[in-house]
A and B are shown apart, each in its own frame.
Chain A
């Protein structure tokens, strides 16, 4: 198992490089001149040229990328063209927000999804259909509509949660949770369906396996059969799906952060792309890629833990 972890970590380095390369090249084609945006309409030609020079915008793309890489290897992600703030700092400040959102939503979606999946696998046909339709409804409603509806009901009509804004954990753990409840719910809704489906399918096929029959014949309780044994066997498929769901939440943070006004990476990405703030886009891209890599790694580890045959290697 250690071998798998090490292998994946080693592979992640060229992966990050490739991703950053592709992003950089693609970004270089985005129209819009950051120097122009910074200076506004009434800048003189000299000001404009000077700024372009200092931002290295006149050099060929590969040259700019090489400069960027050099900085990267020294741990310097550059500075945002617009706020002049170090990209690393900006990301460090915003990452906890987005992570809280994504991890929270994944946890919630997993719990609900697994419960729904197990329930519909062990009950009759009607409840299965009901679960199907319910989880599909989660996909049907546009995420931001759900977000706005949640605010209207749970923040305005019933002032239970704040309508907007984010409080860091360090400032106040309770307020931190409170400010995350509605956004996490908004994000979760779309992710339950797939987890429920995969859990259900996997459970159904597991429940028809021989050893389940042995367990039933031995008098082991239904609860234990379902939750201890059958779910365990579905663990692989469910774990993979949870990993995929987490990754699929990344783009979702854009609209949730926008509606709930959370200072996260998702919405920062949209504005950075619009403003052609390449260092920041690059930084966020690398961060997201790193998140994906970590998630895949965790799923691999989970594989190993769940499957004794893999663990032995």
Chain B
């Protein structure tokens, strides 16, 4: 009998505790306005700027590592830690001068020598712009000026120092003394510092204000927390219940918040999606060296249908490797390849592949949209006799490994944000480009690229479009759609916009909450 009443009491107590927990839980679900909580789909590769990923993932780095230069919402380069900068006449030299009185987070002053050391370290890293930095000659001029020298004309030296490329996200000497430590702690000069105690690696990353930041009024939050939520549906639930203020969306979940009056969707075309034709020299699939075959692929796909099915209203069909509104987007290249399976078959026959051919393709199955996209393309190509053999990688590292193994002639993954034509063309089509794994070279494209590299500001746009035109004419890739970057957020967030020209949203450091 005693045992029974004890059990009863215990049950009541537990229930009571749970109930108090409930109300406490519900109340604190809606969080205070002086904290910012956002959700990203993956944890950072590393907190080290030299190893960090770009795009939205810069948000793991940017709060603690201010860059030398910033990009304003209107697309123009503006001051950061450096307040004076400029090129020489032929884009082979660039200088930037540090603002007076800037300090590292630990309070020590920043010198030009520090910056040089940081950039040199960055050049050894694995970020997308590291190789570019490695090709430059960096030196200090005096105490506060840094000079970058490039052997060939390079019009985007300034861009390399913006947060989007992380080259200018300078690391203090204390951090450089022990590089492995950079993976789990920050040594920058940004408005915030990474708070190891409050963070749980792989789950949530917390940044708290840096009292040594030169512009205290730019610190809008008591804390910025980045949560890792891989499952988009879970993220939507967190957004709806007020636990987070912002999340990366996609075509599947964005429509589900339509009925929430305090939530909004911000969506803009920013990157192109489709197949990267890696093996353009025909190393493993000889057919791909023939331009007619590549063009046949481009004629064989119904871009409109695929785009609608995969991206719904969050994408738009393109047949060029660039999104509308971005540098290098060519009106002339629109509608070069209309949906024409008959023509595709004819071209294949002309090239000697009337019986069809097989192309091994890899893709990342961790990206739901890419998974759908590649299946749609596979089916459409099969109609004209081209068989895609698909291999899925379940995570980013696996995808990278597959590409590097040179076993695949094509892959699916967008290279990053749309943006300047220059870096994209360099990475994808130029020999030595990071995605150009087989080192294929197209002379006409290289010529157009070099012209772009040394073009003056006035001639820039035309030169960029020329590069795109060549890429399209020579069918160097198989673009399907210009995909939106879709952001879902709580309307009380101010300052969240897409930066003009590069499709990258403003970073968390620029936001405030009403």
Assess the A155–B237 pair: CB atoms within 8 A: yes
Assess the A165–B18 pair: CB atoms within 8 A: no
A162's contact among B4, B29, B228, by CB below 8 Å, is which?
Answer: B29
Assess the A156–B398 pair: CB atoms within 8 A: no
A41's contact among B17, B238, B403, by CB below 8 Å, is which?
Answer: B403
Chain B 120-141 interface mask (CB, 8 Å, partner A; 1/0):
0000101110110000000000
Given A47-B126, A263-B202: A178 touches B22 (CB 8 Å cut-off):
yes
Assess the A163–B243 pair: CB atoms within 8 A: yes
Residue B358 CB within 8 A of the other chain:
no
Given A260-B234, A274-B394, A275-B397: A42 touches B434 (CB 8 Å cut-off):
yes
Q: Which residues of B contact A271 (CB under 8 A)?
A: 202, 395
Given A42-B130, A162-B25: A148 touches B233 (CB 8 Å cut-off):
yes
Identify the closest chain A residue to B130 (Cβ). A42
Q: Which residues of A contact B229 (CB under 8 A)?
A: 164, 261
Chain B 230-247 interface mask (CB, 8 Å, partner A; 1/0):
110111011011010000
Assess the B230–A159 pair: CB atoms within 8 A: no
Q: How far is A261 from B201 in the complex, measured between Cα atoms in Å? A: 13
Q: Which residues of B contact A227 (CB under 8 A)?
A: 4
Chain A residues 26 to 45 lying within 8 A of chain B, measured CB to CB, are 31-34, 36-43
Q: Which residues of A contact B28 (CB under 8 A)?
A: 175
Residue B443 CB within 8 A of the other chain:
no
A107 to chain B, nearest CB (A): 10
Chain B residues 138 to 181 lying within 8 A of chain A, measured CB to CB, are 180
Residue A90 CB within 8 A of the other chain:
yes
Q: How far is A176 from B394 in the complex, measured between Cα atoms in Å? A: 32
Residue B20 CB within 8 A of the other chain:
yes
Assess the B200–A263 pair: CB atoms within 8 A: yes
Q: How far is A175 from B395 in the complex, measured between Cα atoms in Å? A: 33
Given A47-B124, A161-B25, A177-B21: A83 touches B404 (CB 8 Å cut-off):
no
A177's contact among B17, B394, B396, by CB below 8 Å, is which?
Answer: B17
Residue A160 CB within 8 A of the other chain:
yes
Assess the A83–B202 pair: CB atoms within 8 A: yes
Given A160-B26, A175-B21: A165 touches B238 (CB 8 Å cut-off):
yes
Residue B12 CB within 8 A of the other chain:
no
Identify the closest chain A residue to B403 (Cβ). A41
Q: Which residues of A contact B243 (CB under 8 A)?
A: 162-165
Identify the closest chain A residue to B396 (Cβ). A37
Q: How far is A90 from B183 in the complex, measured between Cα atoms in Å? A: 14
Assess the B234–A259 pair: CB atoms within 8 A: yes
Q: Which residues of B contact A268 (CB under 8 A)?
A: 202
B282 to chain A, nearest CB (A): 21
Residue B508 CB within 8 A of the other chain:
no
Q: How far is A276 from B399 in the complex, measured between Cα atoms in Å? A: 13
Q: How far is A177 from B21 in the complex, measured between Cα atoms in Å? A: 6
Q: Which residues of B contact A155 (CB under 8 A)?
A: 237, 241
Identify the closest chain A residue to B11 (Cβ). A111
Assess the A276–B237 pair: CB atoms within 8 A: no
B51 to chain A, nearest CB (A): 8
Given A93-B200, A172-B24, A174-B17: A37 touches B234 (CB 8 Å cut-off):
no
A242 to chain B, nearest CB (A): 17
Residue A84 CB within 8 A of the other chain:
yes
Assess the A165–B400 pair: CB atoms within 8 A: no
Q: How far is A63 from B108 in the complex, measured between Cα atoms in Å? A: 45
Chain B 241-261 interface mask (CB, 8 Å, partner A; 1/0):
101000000000000000000
Q: Which residues of A contact B397 (CB under 8 A)?
A: 32-34, 36-38, 274-276
Chain B 24-47 interface mask (CB, 8 Å, partner A; 1/0):
111011000000000000010110
Q: Which residues of A contact B90 (CB under 8 A)?
A: none
Given A47-B126, A274-B395: A152 touches B203 (CB 8 Å cut-off):
no
Residue A187 CB within 8 A of the other chain:
no
A180 to chain B, nearest CB (A): 9
Assess the B21–A85 pair: CB atoms within 8 A: no
Assess the B434–A41 pair: CB atoms within 8 A: yes
B342 to chain A, nearest CB (A): 37
How many residues on chain A are close to B (CB under 8 Å)?
Answer: 53
Q: How far is A152 from B234 in the complex, measured between Cα atoms in Å? A: 10
Identify the closest chain A residue to B237 (Cβ). A163
Assess the B183–A83 pair: CB atoms within 8 A: yes
Q: Which residues of A contact B400 (CB under 8 A)?
A: 36-37, 40-41
B192 to chain A, nearest CB (A): 20
B466 to chain A, nearest CB (A): 26
Identify the closest chain A residue to B128 (Cβ). A42
B368 to chain A, nearest CB (A): 14
Identify the closest chain B residue to A271 (Cβ). B395
B26's contact among A159, A172, A260, A274, by CB below 8 Å, is which?
Answer: A159
Assess the B200–A160 pair: CB atoms within 8 A: no
Q: How far is A305 from B200 in the complex, measured between Cα atoms in Å? A: 40
Assess the A37–B398 pair: CB atoms within 8 A: yes
B229 to chain A, nearest CB (A): 5
Chain B residues 83 to 110 lying within 8 A of chain A, measured CB to CB, are none
Given A36-B404, A38-B126, A159-B29: A174 touches B180 (CB 8 Å cut-off):
no
B503 to chain A, nearest CB (A): 21
Residue B367 CB within 8 A of the other chain:
no
Residue B441 CB within 8 A of the other chain:
no
Q: How far is A27 from B283 in the complex, measured between Cα atoms in Å? A: 32
Q: Which residues of A contact B235 (CB under 8 A)?
A: 164
Residue B227 CB within 8 A of the other chain:
yes
Assess the B404–A161 pair: CB atoms within 8 A: no
Assess the B434–A178 pair: CB atoms within 8 A: no
A131 to chain B, nearest CB (A): 21
Given A83-B183, A162-B241: A259 touches B203 (CB 8 Å cut-off):
no
Q: Which residues of A contact B131 (CB under 8 A)?
A: 42
B234's contact among A36, A160, A261, by CB below 8 Å, is which?
Answer: A261
Residue B184 CB within 8 A of the other chain:
yes
Identify the closest chain A residue to B398 (Cβ). A32
Q: Which residues of B contact A31 (CB under 8 A)?
A: 398, 401
Q: Which residues of B contact A274 (CB under 8 A)?
A: 394-395, 397-398
Assess the B21–A156 pair: CB atoms within 8 A: no
Q: Which residues of B contact A47 (CB under 8 A)?
A: 124, 126
Assess the B238–A177 pair: CB atoms within 8 A: no
Q: How far is A159 from B240 in the complex, measured between Cα atoms in Å? A: 10
Residue A181 CB within 8 A of the other chain:
yes
Q: Which residues of B contact A85 (CB under 8 A)?
A: 184, 201
A84's contact among B184, B204, B228, B241, by CB below 8 Å, is which?
Answer: B184
Interface-central residue, A42, A90, A148, A268, by most chain B CB under 10 Å: A42
Given A32-B397, A42-B434: A84 touches B227 (CB 8 Å cut-off):
no
Residue B435 CB within 8 A of the other chain:
yes
What 7 A-B pairs have minimum CB-CB distances, sorted nearest first? Answer: A37-B397, A178-B25, A263-B203, A178-B21, A42-B434, A163-B237, A177-B21
* Extra A-B contacts (6), CB below 8 Å, given A36-B404, A173-B17, A178-B25: A31-B398, A47-B126, A161-B25, A164-B238, A175-B24, A259-B233
Interface residues of B (CB under 8 A from A): 4, 17-18, 20-22, 24-26, 28-29, 43, 45-46, 51, 124, 126-128, 130-131, 180, 183-184, 200-204, 227-231, 233-235, 237-238, 240-241, 243, 394-398, 400-401, 403-404, 434-435, 437
A-B contacts, 29 listed (Cβ < 8 Å): A36-B397, A37-B398, A38-B45, A38-B126, A42-B126, A47-B124, A82-B45, A83-B183, A90-B201, A93-B200, A152-B237, A155-B241, A159-B29, A160-B25, A161-B26, A162-B241, A162-B243, A163-B29, A163-B241, A172-B24, A174-B25, A181-B18, A258-B230, A259-B233, A259-B234, A261-B228, A261-B229, A261-B238, A274-B397
